[in-house]
Structure 1
Amino acid sequence: MRAVQITEFGGPEVLVPVELPDPVAGPGQVLVEVAAAGVNRADALLRAGRYHRAGRPPLVPGVEAAGTVRAVGAGVTGIAAGQRVLAMGEAGAPGLYAELAAVPAEQVVVLPEGIEPAAAAALPSAWFSAWYSLRHLARAGAGETVAVHAAASGVGSAAVQIAAAAGARVIALAGTPTKTDWVTALGAHDTVDTVAHPGDAAVQEVLRLTGGRGAEVVLDLVGGPAFGQSLRMAAAGGRVVAMANVALAPSTIDTRDFYPKNVTIHGFQVTNLLELGFDPRPDLLELAEQVAAGRLRVPVESRFPLERAADAHRQLERRGNRGKVVLTVDRPH
């Protein structure tokens, strides 16, 4: 099969198209013929050797995909060859930048009609992360204010829509007027241009927009110095969810920024969540049904063929994308 491997840790150029033996579906596994694979920050961190669970090269990256079931292993029920599915992988494990992938059955969901592969491929990591953080951890609800960092990213654009659909007021933080206009079209009620309002100026803008109260929920997709800012923009009794450190910098915080306000801090990391025994399938199915029904929209701005994974990573790391970057797997007819 065709796949993309990380030959050594480094820049996008270390992503190399290769031919590998076809995997087989072992007990409890589903063999998925991949049609599209999502490109995520975790993939870029893994490639650079900066992911906290990185193995050693050669590695096939990729933590989310959609495609068709080719075969199922012993003990698998409820999934059959020929069904369209989404698949959730694990960073550092045999990944989904490939024509074929053997995935644990408990991380595979049969897709409803009406959802294309590129959109479905964005759900297992980026969209699930936003969904779980807002629905299960922060429990964002109607009448609350939700502030979303990096709102034009794949996770951020999902969070804007999920929070708005829950009846929350969304304040979207994004880096340029083009991006703030774009997230407004997705459902954000207010925006903060983080280029015009860097650092604590963004905090002051969120406080101004909320009459000094702050946001009941803050979704921190950046980490580093942004985490301290998230605590300062949180309202009394608010919830801050930290789910990334793409800044790759320490987060220095002052406990006085959260304990007097009774702010709750949640951490989220999808692989560890699965290892703790969480079954993602009901949430992934609900997400897929919402997208298929048109109630949520997965913006896929950039699509690259599998062999151009390096270019996809360059696009992601330029931070010029709005929404998802996806790899597509074309097969000769």
Structure 2
Amino acid sequence: MIREHGGLDCLLFEDRPVPEPGPGEVRVAVKAAGINHLDAWVRRGVPGHAFPLPIVPGCDGAGFVDALGAGVSGLEPGQRVVLAPGVTAGDDEWTARGEDQLSPTYGILGETRDGTCTDFVVLPARNAIPLADAIDFPTAAAFPLVS
């Protein structure tokens, strides 16, 4: 958890309530989280850019689907997933065309909403991508960093 920008001493360990998924969302039990340069930027702060604080860092991760929000299909509790860090509200023309990064609602886990350095993260179901059993969680958590 980051409550204020600064050095490594601003990283906090806190107990938090387990988040509940809303409609179209899933809750993932995080088993591995990658550390990305974005995490350092959010921790330190970037002049001219406002990050919502407090925030849980971490944009990359993998784990098990733990709970489904209303209307979610195609995923099941216990299913292994890797997390796509770029999220949108999912209801605009850019997202419909697959150009999520152009959406006015585009954000990144750990930058604009709570991220993966936690036991449980909630995100849009479309951002939880099924993961083959042959790929371990630490490797999967590194995928968004290198792809």
| TM-score range relative to shorter protein | 0.7 to 0.9
SS in structure 1 at match of 2:43? helix
Tell me which protein shows more helix as a share of its residues.
1
1:40 maps to amino acid? N
- Aligned sequence identity (%): 39
Q: Deviations over 1:125-167 (max 9, x none)?
A: x123xxxxxxxxxxxxxxxxxxxxxxxxxxxxxxxxxxxxxxx
2:41 aligned residue (41, 45, 49) = 45
Cα deviation, residue 92, structure 1: 2.5
Equivalent positions of 1:132-171 (< 5 A) are none
How many residue pairs end up in the alignment?
123
> 1:110 and 1:44 mapped to 2: Cα distance?
28
- Quick check: 1:88–1:103 contact (8 Å CA) kept in 2? no
1:98 maps to amino acid? T
2:66 maps to amino acid? R
In structure 1, what is the equivalent of residue 24 of structure 2? 28
SS in structure 1 at match of 2:27? strand
In structure 2, what is the equivalent of residue 101 of structure 1? 121
In structure 2, what is the equivalent of residue 111 of structure 1? 131
SS in structure 2 at match of 1:122? helix
> 1:67 and 1:59 mapped to 2: Cα distance?
20
1:104 maps to amino acid? P
> 2:56 and 2:49 mapped to 1: Cα distance?
14
* Structure 2 residues without counterparts, runs of 5 or longer: 86-107
Runs of 4+ deviating beyond 6 Å: none
Residue 53 to residue 105, structure 1, CA distance change in 2 (3 Å): farther
TM-score w.r.t. length of structure 1: 0.36
Cα deviation, residue 88, structure 1: 2.4
- Quick check: 2:52–2:113 contact (8 Å CA) kept in 1? no
In structure 2, what is the equivalent of residue 92 of structure 1? 112
**Higher RCO (CA 8 Å, separation ≥ 6 residues):** 2
Q: Deviations over 1:93-144 (max 9, x none)?
A: 11111000001111110101211100001113x123xxxxxxxxxxxxxxxx
In structure 2, what is the equivalent of residue 136 of structure 1? none
Residue 93 to residue 123, structure 1, CA distance change in 2 (3 Å): same
In structure 1, what is the equivalent of residue 146 of structure 2? 127
TM-score w.r.t. length of structure 2: 0.78
- Quick check: 1:61–1:92 contact (8 Å CA) kept in 2? no
* Structure 1 residues without counterparts, runs of 5 or longer: 129-333
In structure 1, what is the equivalent of residue 14 of structure 2? 18
2:121 maps to amino acid? A
The structure whose Rg is larger is: 1
> 2:121 and 2:41 mapped to 1: Cα distance?
21
Residue 52 to residue 32, structure 1, CA distance change in 2 (3 Å): farther
- Quick check: 2:34–2:60 contact (8 Å CA) kept in 1? yes
The alignment yields a C-alpha RMSD, in angstroms, of 1.5
> 1:105 and 1:85 mapped to 2: Cα distance?
10
Residue 52 to residue 41, structure 1, CA distance change in 2 (3 Å): farther
